[in-house]
Amino acid sequence: MGEGAGRSRVSEAETRRILDELQQLVTEQRNERTRDIDLVDLETCLRLINDEDQRVPEVVRGQIPAIARAVTLVERSLRSGGRLVYLGAGTSGRLGVLDASECPPTFGSEPGQVVGIIAGGTEALQRAQEGAEDREDDARRDLEALGLERHDTLVALTASRRTPYVVAGLRYARTVGAATVFITCNTPPPDMEADVVIAAVVGPEVLAGSTRLKSGTAQKLVLNMLSTATMIRLGKVYENLMVDLRPTSRKLEERSKGILMQLLGLAYTDAAALLESARGSVKLALFMGLAGGSAAEAEKRLAAAGGVLRRALGKEPG
């Protein structure tokens, strides 16, 4: 009986510790501006939510210097054959998986080059696995199974800053020498060890503790910037057009032709023929249309320029 009572006391102490920790988080605080949201009419309710959402972009803007440092790390990883790995739980994890899944169709990135890992595995994408965020050992196992190594960059996502699964994954990444980025919506702890810390502190949520709201929006904006800017620097974009997209659907095939028509002034049938001669590669077709030559010659020139079309054309990007 004494042993059981001891366990109970330990459990109670741990519970109290977690409660005290949560009470320090801005994302757990009550938002005075929305205190009566359950009393107002529908349109006022929606305005209150929208008013809070409008605060998010400016907070993210303040983190641009840190986001730029993170982009530099990710670009270095991808250029050296490494990967961008997102790690998160709950909403944060789903956002990482979403961003990773969008990179191949948008930028033509290789499958596995950008990876999203969520606590609780793929089942957690559709059904909440709330207890999974507390299992620290799972983070190590998941990253070991992925083969995380020193050429990779791990982006750890946790709105609360404290999610055990995510923090443990960050620690493991450092032991293997991977670059590390920590994204949170609270002031990070002073002992947080990461190469780059992005703290988008957007304040109390519309509903206290519901970090799928402003915190989720902030994280989504940061991930948009992180992956998009990286891919731009890798030459996946020409002007503001996605020239490495893969025409794997009818929509993307037509978009590919449309890009050639816009940039080269071609008729539809000529754009289609050029795309076919370039084996479906928009970037290859563009180089052929702008500089002339065969597909084989264009491939060599692009490879020598690191895949950056402007560089291959003698226009060095900034």
Write out the catalytic residue numbers: 102, 133
- The separation between CA 62 and the C-alpha centre of its own chain, rounded to angstroms, equals 18
CA atoms within 13 A on the CB side of 25: 24
Name the CA radius of gyration of the chain, rounded.
Answer: 23
For residue 248, what is the enclosing H or E element? none
CA angle 226, 133, 19 (to 5 degrees): 110
Q: How many other CB atoms sit within 10 Å of the CB of residue 226? A: 24
Distance CA 64, CA 222 (A): 9
Q: Give which of 200, 82, 55 is closest to 152, Cα–Cα.
A: 82
Alpha-helical regions (H) of the chain:
2-23, 42-53, 56-61, 64-79, 90-107, 136-146, 164-175, 214-233, 250-264, 268-277, 282-291, 295-304, 309-312
